[in-house]
């Protein structure tokens, strides 16, 4: 594939891979629908379809022949702000902003191919990170903190797996990831500031799968951090300034277990750790002069997630799923912003799998995300009007619904 196509394909796919955050901060776990019904427990160990390429490429060794898997998840978060004490030095007033969330689709596609008894190759297309918050009322009381925030990614993931023996398999993948970001807020009365940037980066992922017995598997996997040199423009009213900024999105480690408990029941568990401390602040500079053009603080901490799920085989065609997870946010009370009003969450999931034929599967899933009451006390100082200051003080009522469907076909 030539360089022009490498740039063009992700740019086209970004239009389809617009997405809402559902995991902590703006990470997206929803890279298939088959795991949604169990809250993505056992993600690096289940390996029952080609989407294992994202979670653990070693899992391809569990997929004989060729297999294609296509899916989409619809994510609908809600962020409703209630003002409980916002103050400013310039008499700031306004509404609560309405709901800053909304529905978006996260598609995915995977193909795996067994080349030889021990060798497997595959390709995955996914969206590991995504964010979309936009306040319905542009004159809301927090308009100087945020109006619109959007992050879109698309990830191309060619992968290779090798079955060492009946007990151990190894996998490795390269990741070519494209990002587009936009942040907007009121900069001064009647003046909106918008920052836009984009870039591409390379990363990698690797995993191992251990078959401890015919009824138990353990999987471990790692996805590397992605380092971007964003380039774009800063719009402040009618003025346009070419800008650049460095952004490092976090790496993630996963430990998973899958166990066949009986001829009807299987159970799975998951622990993941994401190093969000790589995202401290976004410093913005003039592309030509290097002069500072502002900074967007994050101050994220490392986070973790734990999940448990189970599946019940009703008959040869149907399998029922359910799961629960606790997802710890990297966003502390001290650094929470109106762009990402995130907090700890609990996942409650249900799902089903139907096999209309031996080599075909259809998975559906639903998850409700209960998010702890989210309070914000974000201060911001402006250079206009003698250094005016505003503190956004209030509470967010936050929740999310996720619906997913996936089709898998073996050949």
pLDDT at 386: 53
Angle at 195 between CA 192 and CA 199, to 5 degrees: 165
pLDDT tens track of the chain, all 411 residues? 454 444 444 444 454 455 555 567 789 999 999 999 999 999 999 999 999 999 999 999 999 999 999 999 999 999 999 999 887 766 778 899 999 999 999 999 999 999 999 999 999 999 999 999 999 999 999 999 999 999 999 999 999 999 999 999 999 999 999 999 999 998 888 889 999 999 999 999 999 999 999 999 999 999 999 999 999 999 998 899 999 999 999 999 999 999 999 999 999 999 999 999 999 889 999 999 999 998 888 889 999 999 999 999 999 999 999 999 999 999 988 889 999 999 999 999 999 999 999 899 999 999 999 998 899 998 887 655 456 677 899 999 999 999 999 999 999
Residue 316 three-state SS: coil
Phi, psi of 207, deg, nearest 5: -160, 165
Question: Per the structure block, which two tokens stand in for 12?
Answer: 């086209």
Q: How large is the C-alpha radius of gyration of the chain? A: 22
Tell me the torsion sign for CA atoms 327, 248, 130, 407.
negative
pLDDT at 258: 98
Report the predicted TM-score, pTM, of the whole model to 2 decimal places: 0.91
pLDDT at 384: 55
- Contact predicate 345/371, CB 8 Å: yes
Q: Which helix H or strand E contains 76, and what residues bound it?
A: strand 66-83
Distance in angstroms (rounded) separating the CA atoms of residues 295 and 308: 39
CA neighbor of 101 nearest in space, from 393, 371, 295: 371
User: Per DSSP, what are the bridge partners of residue 280?
Assistant: none
- Contact predicate 250/278, CB 8 Å: yes
Alpha-carbon distances of 167 from 51, 128, 384, rounded to whole Å: 21, 30, 66
Distance in angstroms (rounded) separating the CA atoms of residues 138 and 140: 6
- Contact predicate 57/207, CB 8 Å: yes
CA neighbor of 349 nearest in space, from 41, 83, 119: 41
Residue 389 three-state SS: strand
pLDDT at 306: 98
CA neighbor of 282 nearest in space, from 292, 270, 267, 272: 292
Alpha-carbon distances of 336 from 197, 344, 386, rounded to whole Å: 22, 12, 26
- Contact predicate 333/312, CB 8 Å: no
- Provide the 8-state DSSP code for 313: E
Alpha-carbon distances of 339 from 149, 150, 275, 365, rounded to whole Å: 6, 9, 20, 28
CATH superfamily of 3-410: Outer membrane protein transport protein (OMPP1/FadL/TodX) (2.40.160.60)
Distance in angstroms (rounded) separating the CA atoms of residues 365 and 371: 19
Phi, psi of 9, deg, nearest 5: -60, -50
pLDDT at 18: 52
């Amino acid at each position: 594939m030539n360089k022009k196509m490498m740039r063009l394909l992700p740019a086209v796919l970004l239009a389809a891979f617009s997405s809402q955050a559902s995991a902590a901060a703006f990470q997206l776990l929803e890279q298939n629908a088959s795991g949604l019904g169990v809250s993505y427990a056992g993600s690096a160990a289940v390996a029952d379809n080609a989407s294992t390429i994202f979670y653990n490429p070693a899992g391809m060794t569990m997929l004989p022949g060729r297999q294609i898997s296509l899916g989409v998840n619809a994510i609908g978060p809600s962020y409703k702000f209630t003002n409980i004490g916002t103050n400013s030095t310039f008499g700031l007033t306004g509404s609560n902003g309405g709901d800053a969330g909304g529905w978006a689709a996260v598609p995915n596609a995977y193909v795996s191919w067994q080349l030889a008894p021990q060798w497997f190759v595959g390709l995955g297309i996914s969206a590991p990170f995504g964010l979309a918050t936009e306040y319905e009322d542009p004159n809301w009381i927090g308009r100087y903190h945020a109006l619109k925030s959007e992050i879109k990614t698309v990830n191309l993931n060619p992968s290779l797996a090798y079955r060492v023996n009946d007990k151990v398999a190894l996998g490795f993948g390269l990741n070519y990831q494209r990002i587009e970001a936009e942040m907007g807020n009121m900069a001064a009365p009647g003046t909106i500031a918008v920052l836009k940037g984009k870039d591409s980066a390379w990363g990698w992922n690797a995993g191992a799968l251990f078959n401890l017995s015919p009824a138990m598997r353990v999987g471990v996997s790692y996805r590397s951090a992605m380092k971007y040199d964003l380039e774009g423009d800063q719009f402040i009213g009618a003025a346009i300034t070419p800008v650049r900024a460095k952004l490092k999105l976090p790496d993630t480690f996963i430990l998973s277990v899958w166990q066949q408990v009986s001829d009807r029941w299987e159970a799975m568990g998951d622990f993941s750790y994401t190093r969000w401390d790589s995202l401290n602040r976004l410093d913005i500079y003039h592309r030509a002069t290097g002069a500072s053009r502002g900074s967007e603080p994050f101050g994220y901490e490392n986070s973790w997630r734990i999940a448990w799920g189970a599946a019940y085989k009703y008959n040869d065609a149907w399998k029922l799923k359910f799961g629960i997870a606790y997802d710890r946010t990297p966003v502390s009370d001290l650094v929470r912003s109106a762009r990402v009003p995130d907090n700890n969450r609990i996942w409650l999931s249900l799902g089903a799998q139907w096999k209309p034929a031996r080599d075909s599967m259809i998975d559906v899933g639903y998850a409700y995300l209960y998010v702890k009451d989210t309070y914000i006390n974000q201060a911001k100082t402006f250079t206009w009007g003698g250094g005016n200051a505003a503190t956004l003080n209030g509470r967010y009522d936050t929740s999310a619904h996720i619906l997913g469907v996936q089709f898998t076909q073996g050949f």
